[in-house]
Amino acid sequence: MIADDEFVAAHFTIQGAQEGPVPALDLEPTGEPFEVVGMELDRIEDGKLAETWLAYDTPGFAEQLGALETKTTGAKR
């Protein structure tokens, strides 16, 4: 994590198992494990959170859950 007077930036890793539906990927629970990396950038104004930008590896997440065709698997699950 790094910060200055106006911005705070953080890199993160999320690990878990997909135990609920993921509507954005049209996925029912699979129980599959996943690990996703991402970053968040927050803008602070008058000591309060004013804006947040979030980016994470959506294709990598979808691939790990079998929702994305890949070169290694050759097809979606």
What are the tens digits of pLDDT across the range 15-57?
Answer: 999 999 989 888 899 898 999 999 999 999 999 999 999 999 9
φ and ψ of 13, to 5 deg: -130, 130
Query: Which one is predicted more confidently, 40 or 72?
Result: 40
Q: Is 66 left (phi over 0), alpha (psi -120 to 50) or beta?
A: left
Domain ranges of the chain: 13-39+50-77
For residue 73, name the pLDDT band (cuts at 50, 70, 90). Answer: low
What's the average model confidence in pLDDT over 55-74? 82
Angle CA 25–18–10, to nearest 5: 85
Residue 40 one-letter amino acid: E
Q: What pTM was estimated for this model as a whole?
A: 0.70
Q: What pLDDT does 11 receive?
A: 97
